[in-house]
Structure 1
Amino acid sequence: METQPSTSPGAAFAQGPVKATRVAEIPDGKRREKRLERLRLQGFWPVYGAACALAYTAPLAEPHFALIGLRVFGLALMLLGLAMRLWSFGYLLKRAELATAGPYGRTRNPLYVGTWLIGCGLMLNAAWPANLGLLALYNLLFYYIYRAQIGIEEEMLRSIFGEVYDEYCRNVPRFFPRLSTWKVGDVSEFSLTRALKNKMLQPVAGLLVLLSLQVLSWGLLWPMLRGQPAAAAWENLVRGAFVGLP
């Protein structure tokens, strides 16, 4: 097996972006990742669907200002999470280079932080009080599944980068971002080409689909279930009833 040069972790960072010199070796890694992928599909998508279906009151139609604010906050969280994921994609070179620049200088898992924010925002956009129950359920699922997923990826990165990765872990938190960025030596810069290769448009498309389903639930599905004719519901949807405008 090829070994890394005998330099200290700090010196390796000072020399520039840290390139992979080993092949990932994880006991039973593929089977564990496939199991987690099944759990994500079976766990999260029903919750996402429930959040869309339970958006039976449009945000601005909530009876109290605090409830309106809660759901607007949810929309802001979704946009923030999407921005975090797009930013992260521009620095990521999977298994070829240890990403430490941009958002990776604040948290070791910015993509998952973005996913978490999007999910929390989507849950908050269900109608009150269903949104709080969905938010609690989502966070339980997220902790259980992504804690295991992050553990697998840490094993992989440690097998590739060794002590250099341990040094990175000592300076950058696992999940919740630090306020100041950690930077040692020269690092790779954001690349739009790299972001596109990392399929940065997929989360945009996914979020648009989920928001479209919520809009249809706010302005069309629930009004029709309450007895409003389809033509009237559609007219209200087009003129802004999907956010609760009169």
Structure 2
Amino acid sequence: METQPSTSPGAAFAQGPVKATRVAEIPDGKRREKRLERLRLQGFWPVYGAACALAYTAPLAEPHVALIGLRVFGLALMLLGLAMRLWSFGYLLKRAELATAGPYGRTRNPLYVGTWLIGCGLMLNAAWPANLGLLALYNLLFYYIYRAQIGIEEEMLRSIFGEVYDEYCRNVPRFFPRLSTWKVGDVSEFSLTRALKNKMLQPVAGLLVLLALQVLSWGLLWPVLRGQSAAAAWESLVRGACVGLP
């Protein structure tokens, strides 16, 4: 008697990368996504702007070692978040394949984890004590907006991949990564070409712009507001005193 191939979700993963066989169908999905896009623009960018404007003290000019450490920790979080996003882009094939390899074997939303880390780091890199208030505000906004965004995307993926996606959800957490990767069958490998197609350089450019604005804030804007001449502030900025060194 011939044995029929298994159609269980686990067997689907064992057969290799899970390809999309259906079109996403979610109620009112486009309108909901556009609303969340507006919320992101209206909510996050003012907070990002505040994090730049309130960087009124250079990291090494903070009065206590702990505060300097907090600022350095913020920079480390930004770099970690950027690395997470770049790593994730190399495995993502939107709506064509269920990403389960690389960072997707630890968290279902590694791109958003990366975004969260970058945002937290940017808030911490503002000056004390404004950075703690900005960090709290950022996390409230992030939870409110991205919880809804992730919900929409989960509906979409469930409509495309069905029980296979449910199996993935049972094994991989929604947000905070598990320590060990979830091992399945043959999966797609990291692809730099795929990462570039997913516009992996955009977050790099965005982060560099935000960091440059913070440096200009503590190295040029605030010294001028405190009465220093623009020429003297610029000279200090160019020679490296922008980080707080004499």
Fold conserved between structures, TM > 0.5: yes
Structure 1 gaps of 5+ residues are: none
Once residues 79 and 5 of structure 1 are traced to their aligned partners in structure 2, the CA distance between those partners, rounded to angstroms, is 45
Task: Assess, with a 3 A threshold, how the Cα gap between structure 1 residues 89 and 4 changes in structure 2: closer, same or farther.
Answer: farther
Once residues 193 and 222 of structure 2 are traced to their aligned partners in structure 1, the CA distance between those partners, rounded to angstroms, is 42
Once residues 25 and 2 of structure 2 are traced to their aligned partners in structure 1, the CA distance between those partners, rounded to angstroms, is 13
Question: Secondary structure of the equivalent of 1:237?
Answer: helix
**2:161 corresponds to 1:122:** no
Once residues 114 and 182 of structure 1 are traced to their aligned partners in structure 2, the CA distance between those partners, rounded to angstroms, is 19
Q: Is the 8 A contact 1:2 1:22 kept in 2?
A: no
Question: Secondary structure of the equivalent of 1:18?
Answer: coil
Q: CA deviation at 1:126?
A: 0.6
Moved more, 2-11 or 178-187: 2-11
TM-score (norm 1): 0.98
Once residues 4 and 27 of structure 2 are traced to their aligned partners in structure 1, the CA distance between those partners, rounded to angstroms, is 21
Task: Assess, with a 3 A threshold, how the Cα gap between structure 1 residues 211 and 165 changes in structure 2: closer, same or farther.
Answer: same
Question: Secondary structure of the equivalent of 1:7?
Answer: coil
Q: Deviations over 1:34-76 (max 9, x none)?
A: 0000000000000000000000000000000000000000000
Task: Assess, with a 3 A threshold, how the Cα gap between structure 1 residues 205 and 2 changes in structure 2: closer, same or farther.
Answer: farther
Once residues 201 and 133 of structure 2 are traced to their aligned partners in structure 1, the CA distance between those partners, rounded to angstroms, is 30
Q: CA deviation at 1:183?
A: 1.5
Once residues 2 and 54 of structure 2 are traced to their aligned partners in structure 1, the CA distance between those partners, rounded to angstroms, is 54
Q: CA deviation at 1:152?
A: 0.1
4+ residue runs of structure 1 moved beyond 3 angstroms?
1-6
Q: Is the 8 A contact 1:3 1:22 kept in 2?
A: no
Q: CA deviation at 1:99?
A: 0.1
Q: Is the 8 A contact 1:4 1:21 kept in 2?
A: no
Once residues 45 and 232 of structure 2 are traced to their aligned partners in structure 1, the CA distance between those partners, rounded to angstroms, is 31
1:211 corresponding residue in structure 2 = 211
Q: Deviations over 1:168-189 (max 9, x none)?
A: 0000000000000001100000
Q: CA deviation at 1:240?
A: 1.1
Task: Assess, with a 3 A threshold, how the Cα gap between structure 1 residues 3 and 114 changes in structure 2: closer, same or farther.
Answer: farther
Structure 2 gaps of 5+ residues are: none
Task: Assess, with a 3 A threshold, how the Cα gap between structure 1 residues 113 and 227 changes in structure 2: closer, same or farther.
Answer: same
Question: Secondary structure of the equivalent of 2:220?
Answer: helix
Q: How many residues align?
A: 246
Q: CA deviation at 1:2?
A: 26
Q: CA deviation at 1:239?
A: 1.0
Q: Is the 8 A contact 1:106 1:182 kept in 2?
A: yes
Q: CA deviation at 1:218?
A: 1.1
